[in-house]
Structure 1
């Protein structure tokens, strides 16, 4: 077989370089969008602790690894199946609470970081997996229940092995759309009886919201699924 031409060789080298960058760079997905990090609380105990324990490099790594994990969880192998985002920004600042997401901006409380008494690195990573999910997930054009949306975010955190010890136990809660870990454990149950449920539900939420999605994906109403879920844990099975 003839040796490749110089032009073809250059193309092959460029292609290999792109492949390696995608596989190994902490900012591998920069071809499609960018990550930005700002610590507005430097000089405070929380801001300085964030810099010491995580830093800019660590923050960008968490944003990148969580994004890849979210895409894998939602089975979004192709860019066409994902939400279009140009820039994801993480801002550490002085504020109440823990963290919140506004569009493509994540705001993280420096006070929370300062006061956290357990493994702060693990907690920051766990919170970031939740908030990054809020960036990437579909929400039924804003019509899906807030508890379901927050439940999806905690489901990702749970599946990543980042659930904190203070979460309630599986089977807890009075309703399926309570949110956070209560709904996350319910979604985990739905996934266990219909593998692929979470990814398919998220995909449906790209076009809108209907309570009937539960029936369409599992053959059962959400009320029946919740009853079955509660029965599973009340019986100890």
Structure 2
């Protein structure tokens, strides 16, 4: 079963940790835009899907009746398909392979020679590979549509058909049946397309992997093509290295949902404004598609390893990290912690490779195998390096990282004393101090206060904003939930 990364999208430093695996894998990275030459090349060559869906070559369609011709009147491209002298005709496409940009709505432009008093157009699909035999997609009425102007017909694609079309095949045929009054003047059709979808750029032609793209009106096409080309360049490498059973069909969805980017099952999601604000950040795709490759883990699956590995992979395979101003830390810094995942964990993994894995598989590869086998435990680190993960972290920090406290108050990431817990001894903790103890900024949701302790929390760091004092357990924090940035423990 494919694991899901996808509901927790708004992140702060340390907010994922172990719960990210259950709630959603996300990224907080910014970065990259491919060279313009790549975009120019993609714009020059029409894909098979674009050619057939655009009716650029009438030889790609056969008609059961009527006279077919290429029309210079078109709604896009350089040509459209004209059909005359019929009352009923079936237009059937040539065989198509692996459609991209499949969505739940199909649309077609039609130009009628006269406003008909009756008529309809239906869409069917067939593919032996997919088990589709003249399968009905939808129907639209032609009655009363204005003549000699373009009308756009829309069809709600059944979910079963949509799912099928997102698979791999090379024998798909689309059939348009047109029922309309007889005319010696052309009925013209053009621009068959999935609403919100986009076709494969030249960089993806011939790829064994299908990228199903769903975008939003007005999204920058050059950014989208760079994101697509990043997928086609990197995804095969990740599949080969980590998981040859990874999905061959992946979704790339531009959305207005809040967050930066995240993955769920075989789909990756990217906030539209986030991409427009950071046009160079196309390597965010590398992080998210690694989550798709990671699907299939079982047993104990620490979220910090998931996110750290994804940033490790982005660091290794990203196409434009430098131009995007993105990098992982060069070493340990106070306030960092491996449990925060992302760059903190990625840099830690690189240090482990250089210190304890020379001549062996990198630690992320070893962890991938272990997580896929469902055998991860705290002993894993001893088996891989000879040391516990805490001992490794101390070495990595040159013994500067604070040691875990054994007594004091306990802060929790979830209300009701749930989720990961951190013990804090008496002392003052600003945001960096909390981070060094693996407590993220705006992370705390409940607090246990033993007898004899007093806890003062502040919404800002260092120790600013209205303080709140606790002398007993607080299973929920009300308006302070995920709003604490510094603490004094007495």
Distance 1:182 1:174, change over 3 A: same
SS class of match (1:206)? helix
**1:119-177 per-position Cα deviation (integer Å, ceiling 9, x unaligned):** x23x12x2101001111025742631111110100011112352754667331344322
What corresponds to 1:52 in structure 2? 222
Distance 1:143 1:217, change over 3 A: same
Alpha-carbon distance between aligned partners in 2 of 1:233 and 1:83, rounded to the nearest angstrom: 42
**Higher-helix-fraction structure:** 1
Give yes or no for the alignment of 1:108 onto 2:270.
yes
Which range moves more in the overlay, 161-170 or 188-197?
161-170
Alpha-carbon distance between aligned partners in 1 of 2:223 and 2:256, rounded to the nearest angstrom: 17
Correspondences of 1:119-130 after superposition (within 5 Å) = 120-121=279-280, 123-124=281-282, 126-130=283-287
Alpha-carbon distance between aligned partners in 1 of 2:396 and 2:287, rounded to the nearest angstrom: 23
Alpha-carbon distance between aligned partners in 1 of 2:304 and 2:212, rounded to the nearest angstrom: 28
Give yes or no for the alignment of 1:26 onto 2:197.
no
Distance 1:27 1:191, change over 3 A: farther
What corresponds to 1:206 in structure 2? 372
Contact kept? 1:28, 1:64, Cα under 8 Å: no
Contact kept? 1:37, 1:59, Cα under 8 Å: no
Give yes or no for the alignment of 1:90 onto 2:252.
yes
Contact kept? 1:130, 1:156, Cα under 8 Å: yes
- Pick aligned residue for 1:68 from 216, 236, 246: 236
What corresponds to 1:14 in structure 2? none
Alpha-carbon distance between aligned partners in 1 of 2:325 and 2:250, rounded to the nearest angstrom: 28
What corresponds to 1:11 in structure 2? none
Alpha-carbon distance between aligned partners in 1 of 2:295 and 2:400, rounded to the nearest angstrom: 29
Alpha-carbon distance between aligned partners in 2 of 1:229 and 1:201, rounded to the nearest angstrom: 19
What corresponds to 1:153 in structure 2? 310
Give yes or no for the alignment of 1:192 onto 2:361.
no
**1:35-75 per-position Cα deviation (integer Å, ceiling 9, x unaligned):** 21121x122xxx2x2x13342xx433211222133246xx4
- In structure 1, the gaps of 5 or more residues are 1-23
Alpha-carbon distance between aligned partners in 2 of 1:229 and 1:191, rounded to the nearest angstrom: 12
What corresponds to 1:218 in structure 2? 385
SS class of match (2:254)? strand
SS class of match (2:252)? strand
Distance 1:35 1:98, change over 3 A: same
**Higher-strand-fraction structure:** 2
User: Number of aligned pairs?
Assistant: 190
Asked which structure has the greater CA Rg, the reply is 2
TM-score by length of 2: 0.36
RMSD: 2.7
SS class of match (1:92)? strand
Alpha-carbon distance between aligned partners in 1 of 2:349 and 2:394, rounded to the nearest angstrom: 13
